[in-house]
Structure 1
Amino acid sequence: MAVLSVRDVLAFHKLDRGMYDKLVALGTTPEVSRNVVALFMWLELIGVDVIVYIRSNPDHYILLRLAAEAESILDCIRHDTPPSDGADSSLAIPLTASLVNEPLNLRFFYCHRDVAVRGITQILDGVGTLIFDDYLHALLAEYEAEAQAAEADARGRAKAVFPMLPRELARPYLPRVSPTPEDSRSMFITFSKGFPLNREDIVEYFTEKWGDCVERVMMEKTTTSAAMPTYGRIVFTSESFIGLVLNGKQLVKFTIKGRQLWARKYEQRKNPI
């Protein structure tokens, strides 16, 4: 089997990158745009031809409608409770639902949220590392512009002199085999004063929602046995879980067994947890 180069992968996913660029240009944050496009790509894998429909209907309005429905799906798989009967009809995602013959609604995504999240994170951790890499796309655009200019100059000549493909684009595409550094896969968490959570509760909460996604949980080291921790750190198995949890927000709140947990992206401190 021939080994694909980075350029080959970028060329194959040009439409996916185009959707991302268009969403960002229309005011959607890069984080949300990445999640939306990755969801589109996962929907294609399960037979919901969102990208095919967008290709056939290259209109800003269509893309924005489907992106809004994608955000509703992403919000649904983050929630702790299933959609109510009133919101659980295909009317919540009418355009997406119209692309399949079988009934499709938000409850479907809620019931299969672990599968959805696993599929989305695999895309983000795989080809997504290339699709959403601004540097690689800038290199590709520069190379293609130079190649087109060389081809135009060569018309009427015996031989065209094309630019050399940058090594970053020529290298083989190899899926990531090792996790990113722990800090980039971590969320800093705090608890309401006097209402801490234990490690087991936190792991159980995220595992029930999204499957085996937590590598470990660390808690504040207290000075006495009576003192309760006020903060901690969750290390996920993949950095992509952070993007799905936060979805472009600085701070999010979870309610676990009636107690509040606040989470944000972890930043290295002098005295890290």
Structure 2
Amino acid sequence: MISIAELHMYHRIDREVFTRLVTTLMRDPAESLLVIAVWLWLEDKGFSSLISMMSKLSNQMVNVLAREAVSGLNCLESDRVPNVPPNDGMYFTSRLLDRTDLSRLFFYHNRFSIIVGVKKVLNNVCAKIFTDILPLIMGIQVRLNQPIPVAGFPHQLFGDVEIVRRAMNYVEIPAISGGDQILQLWGMPVIIQENDVSEDDRTMFLTFSRGFRVTENEVRVLFTRLYGLDAVADVIMQEIISDDTQPLFARLILNSITTADRMLNGRRIAKFRVNGKHIWARKYERRDI
């Protein structure tokens, strides 16, 4: 257990920058939550000290960096290669980090990893560290232990986020070995362990050509050969009624969401070939009837 005050102190800079976004710069609260979430996710992925460096910049430059983050997030909503300007749309963020591998194309090619990652950060970090700020900037009164409504959620890509101002003075955090690391675990969006990603998020939908029977073993061999021995968690083929019919589709469950991005490489549908037979792959979307 740690106190709310300790949690806020640990995230002091994140809270500072978020407050500048929504008060000084008058940016939309829902969009600002997404911007902070993607910045935290980037820090976890090796783009270190991004928000810390940003806290020392002028409001004008923070606004520019926020616009660049939004342009990256917009790339997640399209199946088309983004129309990349000469500076690739993230010039100032790249200069701040002294990195050349951050661009709008980075967002496009890592679409599903970023969607899952930002969703986790929103719910595991942002939903807990801005509960006192959001009601103030939105000018609303919220009862304790009741969700804070934020216009813009549920979001088309990231779903809903439950932001609740708790009556308790302490929050419970996961126990890990090495007590001195406990605040680091709570604060870092690394919360995004692969085994914490839902099965649906890690699933691809495969289709096959009629008349060219593809077996489960062929699917496993193809994708383990392409992406590694630990790439495939399971293959669920369409049930067939008799030996005269063939499966026309399957679900490929991966061990890592990053493999899904590697398979599609920004495309909506990717085409593969095994033993002269074609396999088409796209991201699985559960349809509840």
TM-score by length of 2: 0.48
Higher helix fraction: Structure 1 or Structure 2?
Answer: 1
